[in-house]
Structure 1
């Protein structure tokens, strides 16, 4: 019985130590989540105004056929997948990898991976990984802009026929699901319909041309979207990690209560046994 009490005591200490770690990680994830949300919301505003400008140009020039708008046979699509570099974030990575299969990404088509956690799974299934970006926690807008510049050059050269991103869409701190979007070619539908005004309409003149302006604006817009989806994915990751650590902390508390009850029962049983032995010995006298 003494050994059982000692084992329970040791396990309680171990679980309490683990609880301190998970609680600390929960607090860190909460802080990072708030920071990521602010960055995500700030960047969304920038992307929104770029989209509005492009929409206005297309509204004024309905006949325009820019190189970033023209659809072609999608023979060599590029998929960009965001995963995490760190674990302990619940089903965040496994959900994204499962979603990658659900949407039917061809393993032979080029795949760019940002984050290290999905690489072993992808390599085991012989995905055509063209590029890997590790340590995505320290990635800046300039880093992603350089990557997207290279991708855009390949698109213009027709080395790839479309670009899509698989990421985790953030709704709120407890709701985030895998999603995918097409970056290129840009569709008028994805930009949304800008309402035509009635009455007095001011004609907009473009210099040198609307097409030339779009050649500058659309890459800026695509880079901004790329960064936005990265920020949204990182926000979802921190939200998932916070939830996972909160659950682990709650489970540790429940386990400590259960083990403490068992320890007290074992101690009470030992005391009862000792009293019984003393009484039995006294009666024998």
Structure 2
């Protein structure tokens, strides 16, 4: 067997082994997507309801006295929470988030602000460590299956940084870079500012038919609207972080499935191309062997004739 044919067959075995791995990763990601989407859909009603309640409280005029709703001109430090995955094999998923984080940092610096980074996901942590970039806090091991406890910890950390005095390293804004699950084939990297809070208010007084407005219903708050707002807004931040983690997790699984499907298809296409090359090389070898046999037979016939 010729050296070229041996090399081609070795390449075929290697690509076949790779195709098995990518196919397995594709199946694993496919099996995890339904659960990730279910968790995301289950969390959306809670996020919508807490936004509605916060909007009601804000409409009662209590927001002007709450720190989480007020800008802090006394500091130029801005916290950026960057959400990535813990594992690879998901195409441009992490690169898109990292590029968006760098773009956001550049924009903040142009505005005279100093970005400080909080990282979620091993890929972002490795990226920043390799480039010797300073980070404030890091969370890993949660991208595939995030938990509310970690979301609450992240939210509490960011709220404390926002509440912290400037001399102690407090921040004046908090932005989050995450990936939104749009569909199985589409994932969009987003940037949202969560502190100071901009609650998505709606027309509370709109009637069911949308034909006009009616006065908002009266509410009674215990112990006081300010106390209720304080607890609610902190819960609101944790809920937003939780929702973004779930979005990023579902988007990660979808991106991995899409990338592994493409990789498997490319591997099978390459195997077909290499197989055709191997067949061609083998045919050339057979042709050469036949030519050598015919040439040997002719030489033997001429030798016998001369004798």
- Aligned CA distance change for structure 1 residues 276 and 162 (closer, same or farther; 3 Å): same
The two structures have a TM-score, normalised by structure 2, of 0.84
Deviation at 1:5, TM superposition (A): 1.8
Identify the match of residue 114 of structure 1 among 115, 120, 133: 120
Deviation at 1:194, TM superposition (A): 2.3
Indicate yes or no: 2:268 matched with 1:262.
no
The 2-side partners of 1:139 and 1:169 are apart by 15
SS at match of 1:109: strand
2:157 corresponds to: 150
- Aligned CA distance change for structure 1 residues 109 and 102 (closer, same or farther; 3 Å): closer
2:100 corresponds to: 99
Identify the match of residue 221 of structure 1 among 201, 216, 236: 236
Indicate yes or no: 2:197 matched with 1:186.
yes
- Aligned CA distance change for structure 1 residues 77 and 203 (closer, same or farther; 3 Å): same
- Aligned CA distance change for structure 1 residues 11 and 57 (closer, same or farther; 3 Å): same
User: Contact 2:82–2:178 at 8 Å: present in 1 too?
Assistant: yes
CA offset digits 1:69-123 (Å, max 9, x no partner): 1222252221111111111211111111111122225595321111121234324
SS at match of 1:208: coil
In the alignment, structure 1 segments of 5+ residues that lack a partner are: none
Indicate yes or no: 2:220 matched with 1:205.
yes
Indicate yes or no: 2:205 matched with 1:196.
yes
SS at match of 1:136: coil
CA offset digits 1:207-243 (Å, max 9, x no partner): 2222221111111111011011011111111111111
Deviation at 1:125, TM superposition (A): 4.7
User: Contact 1:167–1:179 at 8 Å: present in 2 too?
Assistant: yes
The two structures have a TM-score, normalised by structure 1, of 0.90
The 2-side partners of 1:242 and 1:9 are apart by 28
SS at match of 1:118: helix
Aligned-residue Cα RMSD (Å) equals 2.1
- Aligned CA distance change for structure 1 residues 219 and 275 (closer, same or farther; 3 Å): same
The 1-side partners of 2:229 and 2:196 are apart by 13
Identify the match of residue 177 of structure 1 among 185, 188, 194: 188
When the two structures are aligned, how many residues end up with a matched partner? 282
2:304 corresponds to: none
Deviation at 1:64, TM superposition (A): 4.0
Give runs of ≥4 in structure 1 deviating > 6 Å.
Answer: none
